[in-house]
């Protein structure tokens, strides 16, 4: 993990996370220059390196300021940008009432270097609006918590996402922010950037197993696929829930919904690292898609009471991890289904034997 590689100042934030394999390497570049964003690049070289031209990156024309060396080692690149936070009230007399939007590109962000933990591979990007006329952020903040992984496993806190060494987890946190309505809900706008040849699709999978995330049976994935659908290139994955507590429990759940994936080529995400890497192709050959993730609904009062909201999402390359039944669940299922079946077979045998004995007492007529 490198903070602002090649730059001595801390007035801007750029975090480079690199995972090296025997024949390839993965790069995650997180930044709050402009709207908070992450650039994901997969290369076929174990020694590929991130290069940053800081003078150009911080200029009004950052195109070309970020690249991977050697350039021909790049096999796939994409970006995810967190652009806006919407707040709306669901008051019944008035219906849905939207308040002025929080544009995340206009936030003031704390130095990420203060929260960087090289041992735990974690960091936190925290910010507030540069101008806050309503005072909603006077005692609160919005944060993105990043966690990288060295091996596969499962996060210990709800929603207990399953991860691999090729993925990173992002936790979106809204803490202490005063809602502007009595029944406010929040919506986070997420934009993705794909180069030519790739397209984003939203998948929803349901399972009867809620062992690791009680009462949640749906997993959503925003996957990047090749145009012919032959391979999955990257993904965002999350459980259909958020939580209203720093130490989340089942009862702290907040409803989480994905409100349709749409092409958003009419608006280019305001993020310097995205413009710096993709350059002129951002407005021409790249495909930009946008997705709204809403938090609230019938359980919206959880945030009103505790003023805390956390939503976890996994980002990575290749296929998203898939949960499988644990040995405990398999054992319970086998007992639950096997016991009635065994009783049915045993009962059938008893009935057959009883019938055989009864009819064996009679002599044949002929």
pLDDT tens digits in sequence order for the chain, 366 residues long = 999 999 998 899 999 999 999 999 999 999 999 999 999 999 999 999 999 999 999 999 999 999 999 999 999 999 999 999 999 887 665 667 889 999 999 999 999 999 999 999 999 999 999 999 889 999 999 999 999 999 999 999 999 999 999 999 999 999 999 998 877 889 999 999 999 989 999 999 998 888 889 999 999 999 999 987 778 899 999 999 999 999 999 999 999 999 889 987 656 667 899 999 999 888 788 999 999 999 986 545 778 888 999 999 999 999 999 887 656 566 666 667 777 887 888 888 888 887 766 555 556 676
Q: What is the DSSP letter of 254?
A: E
Phi (first) and psi of residue 293, to 5 degrees: -110, 115
| pTM of structure | 0.88
* CATH no. of 2-317: 2.70.98
Cα–Cα distance for residue pair 361/153, rounded to 1 Å: 66
The conformational region for residue 228 under phi > 0 = left, psi -120 to 50 = alpha, else beta, is alpha
Sign of CA dihedral 224, 316, 219, 338: positive
Angle at Cα 138 formed by Cα 135 and Cα 141, nearest 5°?
115
């Amino acid at each position: 993990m490198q903070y602002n590689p090649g730059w001595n100042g801390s007035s801007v934030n750029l975090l480079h996370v690199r995972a090296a394999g025997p024949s390839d390497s993965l790069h995650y570049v997180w930044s709050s220059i402009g709207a908070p964003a992450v650039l994901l690049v997969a290369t076929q070289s174990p020694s590929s390196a991130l290069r940053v031209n800081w003078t150009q990156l911080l200029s009004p024309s950052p195109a070309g300021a970020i690249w991977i060396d050697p350039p021909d080692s790049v096999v796939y690149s994409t970006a995810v940008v967190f652009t806006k936070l919407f707040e709306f009230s669901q008051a019944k007399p008035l219906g849905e009432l939207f308040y002025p939007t929080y544009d995340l590109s206009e936030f003031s962000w704390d130095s990420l270097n203060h929260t960087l933990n090289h041992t735990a591979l974690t960091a936190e990007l925290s910010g507030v609006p540069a101008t806050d006329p309503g005072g909603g952020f006077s005692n609160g903040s919005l944060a993105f918590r990043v966690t990288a992984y060295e091996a596969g496993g499962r996060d210990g806190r709800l929603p207990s996402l399953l991860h691999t060494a090729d993925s990173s987890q992002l936790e979106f946190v809204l803490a202490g922010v005063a809602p502007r309505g009595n029944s406010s809900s929040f919506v986070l706008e997420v934009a993705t950037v794909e180069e030519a040849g790739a397209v984003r699709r939203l998948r929803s999978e349901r399972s009867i197993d809620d062992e690791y995330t009680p009462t949640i049976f749906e997993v959503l994935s925003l996957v990047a696929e090749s145009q012919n659908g032959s391979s999955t290139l990257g993904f965002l994955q999350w459980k259909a829930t958020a939580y209203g507590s720093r130490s989340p429990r089942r009862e702290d759940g907040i409803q989480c919904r994905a409100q349709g994936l749409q092409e958003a080529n009419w608006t280019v995400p305001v993020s310097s690292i995205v413009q710096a890497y993709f350059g002129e192709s951002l407005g021409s050959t790249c495909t930009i898609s946008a997705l709204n993730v809403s938090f609230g609904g019938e359980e919206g009062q959880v945030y009103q009471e505790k003023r805390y909201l956390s939503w976890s999402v996994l980002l990575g390359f290749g296929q998203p991890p898939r949960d499988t039944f644990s040995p405990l669940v398999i054992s319970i299922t086998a007992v639950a289904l096997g016991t009635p079946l065994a009783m049915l077979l045993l009962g059938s045998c008893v009935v057959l034997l009883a019938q055989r004995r009864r009819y064996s007492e009679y002599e044949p007529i002929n």
